[in-house]
Structure 1
Amino acid sequence: MTNDLYDYSPITERAPITWPGGAKVAAYVGLNVEHFVPGKPSTSIWPGTADLVPDPLNHGWRDYGTRVGIWRTLQSLDRHGFRASVLLNSDVAEHYPQIIEAGLERNWAWLAHGKTNSILHTGMSVDEERAFLSEVVGTIAAATGQRPRGWMGPGLTETANTPALLAELGLEYVLDWTNDDQPYSLKVPGMLSVPYTVELNDLLLFGKSFTGPDFVQIVKDQYEQLLADSEHSGRVLALALHPFVIGQAFRAKYLDQALEFLAAQPDIWLTTSDEIADHYRVQTSSDSAD
């Protein structure tokens, strides 16, 4: 199939982006807060038992995130002044209301992340998907008091109709297309793609046997290269975290070190994906007017 969602645009041929306060790199934490259905195969630490029902080994590993890991992780975020951009399964509102309450106290940005990460966002007709997305968005809006403005599908999944249906519901950007260091416009009117990452992502990194010190160094390397790249135009650093991974006790100090490093950088804008989308939209609209 041809790609009808966006055009090719080399980053070397775009109008410059500037971030608030003269910052060179806009950095946000994409905090995945997810519900997993017992008995359904999903993200696994040991595939050998993933098809068993019940599967205590893998489900327990995932479930650690909402019971323990999220509370350790938010302490690190608080300590270093990070306001999370939360990729929220709508089922979290029913099953873990204490997490919603903690996020409201911290003014987190809430993005729609499907209903549960046990089900990928695929295989629906247009009408089925429209009803499904409306339910997800409505549930999150009711629980948080804020209508989500961004979307990331479970496992970064979409149908060919997802961006247009999200636009119908008033959403403004997606994170699923991890192909850039800057936001860009989609062909769906009013919709942006905002950078996310499957590389600077605890689930993928630690799944490849990287260590805590490796993680800290990778965060530093990512920032330093993006800073160098930003000489003429701003860049986005997305840090993707999962509480059942980064929230493990033996990794806590390494998250602290990575966040401490980022928070200390003079050329960084610690922000949310919502604010990145807003700033990009305003700036590009002004550039078009000029």
Structure 2
Amino acid sequence: MADEGQVWLITGTTSGFGRRLVDQLLVRGDRVIATARSLDKLKDLEARPESPVRLRCLQLDVTAAQDVINCTVQDAINDWGRIDVLVNNAGFAMPGLLEEAGAEGAMHQFDTNYFGVVRVTTAVLSHMRERSFGTIVIIGSRSAWKADIPGVGHYAASKAAVHAYGETLAAEVARFNIKVLIVAPGLFRTEGIHTAPPYPGAHIPMYDPVRERVLARFADLRARTREDIGDPEKAMRVLVDVVKGQGKAEGKKWPLFLVIGEDAEEDVRKHGRRMEGLMEEWGSVTRDTGWDTL
């Protein structure tokens, strides 16, 4: 199958990781179904010489109803008769304090970042099951392990949710020869880096100092030089290598999680050490919870 090129369906390809991934795949000779909420934002892709030979562009809003997404996915399958790899990339980071954003803010964030992944994956799974072949990639975040930063709570929670979804999914679909890859990147220099406006929830004056620090931090991240933040093109090169078993990934065992970036690796390791320390310190208190023997 690798000789004729794999068929990839990617959500959220107008910029960022999605756009870099399209570029990487076309260079390697694969076929790509690039999707976005607005086709107008994909006009430059449609004008590329690879289109329509190895590139299709489809309108896909991951927050649409399930039956709408099912129809779009079927249209994608009709193009080349199959989807080998699904990449759930569409998502955004909404700044906001938890109490101010409230449940409505959480639902707004989860509708794209979590339920969008569920909707598109659900639409593709029956096709992959029938073929007994496929790979599902979920773009998560190291924020799932680094959630102790004010202003990112709902985003971090949505990414932790897709991580858990991906772990369970991997266990459920392994029997159908379907692989799952959960990608947890650190901070990378993409066009949309922390540009989403804060959720317009309640304004609680007591949070003003915290909110100001949050907004200042996001502004600082946007202003950092390219050298201070990861290269998204290199990140997507790693992703393609892993999925295709090529380059530095050749011969390695399939990873359920792919932590990309030194900052992400550091945060995941710190989280693990913190949890180990807590269990060691509190184990004498928490372990003796079994039934007493008579």
Same topology, TM > 0.5: no
TM-score category by the smaller chain?
0.3 to 0.5
Structure ranking higher on relative contact order (CA contacts 8 Å, 6+ apart):
1
After TM superposition, the score normalised by the length of structure 1 is: 0.37
